Amino acid sequence: MERIKFYSEHDGTCGMNLTKIIKLINDFDDDFVESNINVILEYYNIIKFYDVENFKGVLKTETEGKVDVVIKALKSIIGKFIDCYKEDNFLILYENADTFYKEDFWSLVESYGVYKFINEDDFEQCLSNSEIYYPVLLQFRKTVNKFHENLRTYILQDKKGAEILLRSYIYKGDAKRQTTYLPPSLTEEDKEKILLNYIESDDPHVNYLEMIINFPSKSDLKIGDRIKVKARRRYKKEGEKIFEDNNGIKMEMGVAIKYPKDQEEAVEYSMNGTLVECSVSRNWIENNLDFNTLWNNFIYIFDFFDWQMRLKLVSKIKEIGVFEKIIGNNFKHLYKTSSAFKRKDMMSTLQMKSYVEILNSYQIRLEEMIEWFFNQYLSKEFGINNFIVRMPTTVSSDFEKCRAILPEIDSILKQYKLYLEDGEIDQELLQVSSSHMFFKDCASYNNKKYVYPVEGSTFNIASNLLFSDQSMIFYLPKFDEKYNSFYHLVREQKVKLSDFQQYQIESITWLITNQYLCEDEEGYLKFVNHTKISVFADLYYNEASSYWNLSSKERAEIEALIKEGVLTIDNKLFTKNEQDYLDYHLNKATFSNSLDLRNRYLHGTQTNDDELHSLNYLIFLKLIVIIIIKINDDLCIGQFSK
C-alpha cells in the first residue's frame, strides 16, 4: 500500500490519506524501535497532517482523541531514530528514502537539527554521488547557511542557475510559493556572472530572457542596463529561431477597419479566420457630427466600454488562454499582454487612427472635442466651471504633441480632484501643486463605486465551481460537451445529483450546503438565489462591478454580501483593472514591462522615430478619451444616485 504523503491541505489526496492515518492511529502500537527511514518519513508526514487545524479536528473525532497520544509517540520515535544515526553519516540513509520522500528527508534534516552533525565532506559526497536535485535544498535556510560554499559552487556551475536566481527574487514574499534561500556567500559579481552565462548559453529559455529584460528595478536583485540589453538581443534572436524551421506554434492575428457609405447598420463586427474587422457606416458619422454623438461613438461604435461603463480594453485573467498560461510569464510585476489583450489594443489604436482621420475630413479635430468637453460640456451639464485643458496645436510635430499632452493628463486628474474636494477648481491652487497624481488615488464623486470579491472568501470556491471551464463538475457524457460551465449546464438542462459521478458530487454538495443550489420537489438541481448568481457571474468574468450601474435588487444583494465579508466596495474613479491599464501605458512603477511613455518623454529617453511618436500620440489621445468617459460616467452616476 502506498505510504502517507502530505502535499498541501488543499490537495486532492487528503481525504484518502486521512483515512489511512485514522486506521494507523487506531491500530497503533508503540512498543518497538523503528529502523526504516521510510517509516520515519511517513510518521513525519502524519505530523504535518495533524498540524493542519481542520484535519486535527477530524482526526480527534474519528479516533476518539487517541490521535494526540499517538502523535506524541511518533515524535518520540522520530527523535530516537535521529539520535541513533546522527553521529554517523546520516546522509547514507538518503539513498534508501523513497523517491516521493526525498524532499521530506531534507525537511527532516532541517527541522530536527540533523544538519549540525553533518560535515562538509559527507555533504559534498552526497551531492555528487546521488541524484539530488540541489535546488530542493535551497528551501531549507539553516542547511543552506551551513553548506553555503558547496551550494554556491553548484549554482555557479549550473547552466540553469540564472533561473533559480531569478525565481528566488521574483517569488520573494509570495505566501503561495516556497521560499528559496540563496547561499549567503553568493556575491553580486557571482549573480552578474550567472546571468551573463545564462544569456550566452546554448539554450536559454525565452521566458527567463524576458524576465531579465523586464526585471523590476525595485527588487533586491539589481540587473544592470548592459545585461538587460544583452538579454533583449538574445531574446530577439531566440524568438526568430523558434519559427525558422516551423518548430514553434505561431499565433498570428489581425485587425481591420473600414467606413463604407452604403452600410445600413451604424457598425458591424466580423471575423474571418484570425482577422477581426470593424465596419463603420460613413453615413452614420456624416449625419451625426454633433460632439455628443461623436463622443458616444467610442462607447457604442468602437466598443471601448461595456454597459456598466467599464473599460473593455483592459487585460482580463479570464481572457488568457490555457496555452498562454503555460508558456507565458505570469508574474505580478508584468502586465498580462495576452493575445486577447493585444488584439483589443491593436483594434482600439487602429480605430483611434481612422477616427481622427475621418473627423479631420469634416474639419473636426479630436483635440477640439476634448477641449469642448472640459470647457463647455462640464459647465453646461454639471455646473463645473474653470476646468481648463489646452491640447496641442496642428502646427506641432508628433514629438512636440507627445511632450505637450502629458502634463494635460496629469492636470485633468488634479483638476477633477480639486473639484471633488472643494466643489470648485482653483487654478491658482492647481499651479502650486507639484505632486504627481497616481491613478489608484483618483477618487470618485460617489462614495460607493466598484465592487470586488474579498480574497480568500467563499466567492472564489463558488465562482470557480459555477463558472470555470476548468471545473470538473459540469461534464456529463450524455450532453456531449455541449456546455462550458456548471452554471450553463444547470441553467439550460434538468439535471439531478444522481446524474453525476462520485468525484463530482462532493463539490456539488458543497454548493447545496452553502445555499447556492437546491433540489426541487422532483430532485432537479436549481439555483437558490438567481440575483446572487448574477452578481457572482459578473464579478467572475469582469473582476469588478459598477455598483450604481446595477439594478436595485442586485445592489441589495451586494450589500448583504458585503456584510457577510464576501464582497467589498471602493470609491475610486477607475477600476483596479483600469488603473493597471493606464499604469501599463505610462510608467514602470507597477509593471516593469510598461510602455513607460511618461518617463520617455519627460526625461528625454525617447527615440527619433517619427512613426513611433505618431503612434504614441494616438495612445495618449486614447488615454484621455478613456479618462473623459470615466469622469462623465462618474458625474452622471452622482446625479441619478442622489
Alpha helices in 51-171 (DSSP H): 53-62, 66-85, 102-111, 120-129, 141-146, 148-157, 161-170
Between CA 630 and CA 639, with CA 634 as vertex, the angle to 5 degrees is: 150
Check pLDDT > 70 for residue 357.
yes
- The DSSP output letter for 500 is S
Average pLDDT over residues 623-637: 98
pLDDT band at 604 (very low <50, low <70, confident <90, very high): low
- At 108 the pLDDT is 94
pLDDT tens sequence across 552-603: 999 999 999 999 999 999 999 999 999 999 999 998 888 888 888 998 888 7
9-13, 302-306, 378-382, 584-588: which range is least confident on average? 9-13
pLDDT band at 249 (very low <50, low <70, confident <90, very high): very low
Check pLDDT > 70 for residue 213.
yes
Average pLDDT over residues 161-168: 90
CB atoms within 10 A of CB 272: 9
Check pLDDT > 50 for residue 250.
no
Taking only Cα atoms into account, the Rg of the chain, rounded to an integer number of angstroms, comes to 30
CA dist 15 → 71, 302, 527 (Å): 19, 52, 28
Average pLDDT over residues 169-196: 87
Sort strands 254-258 and 517-519 into parallel, antiparallel or unpaired: unpaired
Alpha helices in 262-338 (DSSP H): 282-287, 291-300, 322-327
Check pLDDT > 70 for residue 247.
no
pLDDT tens sequence across 519-533: 999 999 999 999 999
Q: What percent of the chain has pLDDT over 90?
A: 61
Between CA 408 and CA 419, with CA 414 as vertex, the angle to 5 degrees is: 125
Average pLDDT over residues 83-104: 85
- At 210 the pLDDT is 86
CA dist 570 → 164, 442, 453, 544, 545 (Å): 39, 11, 11, 10, 11
For helices 161-170 and 148-157, give the axis angle rounded to 10 degrees.
120
Average pLDDT of every residue of the chain: 89
Average pLDDT over residues 241-268: 74
The three grid cell numbers given for residue 435, joined into one nine-digit string: 505632486
pLDDT tens sequence across 282-310: 999 999 999 999 999 999 999 999 999 99
How much is the pTM? 0.76
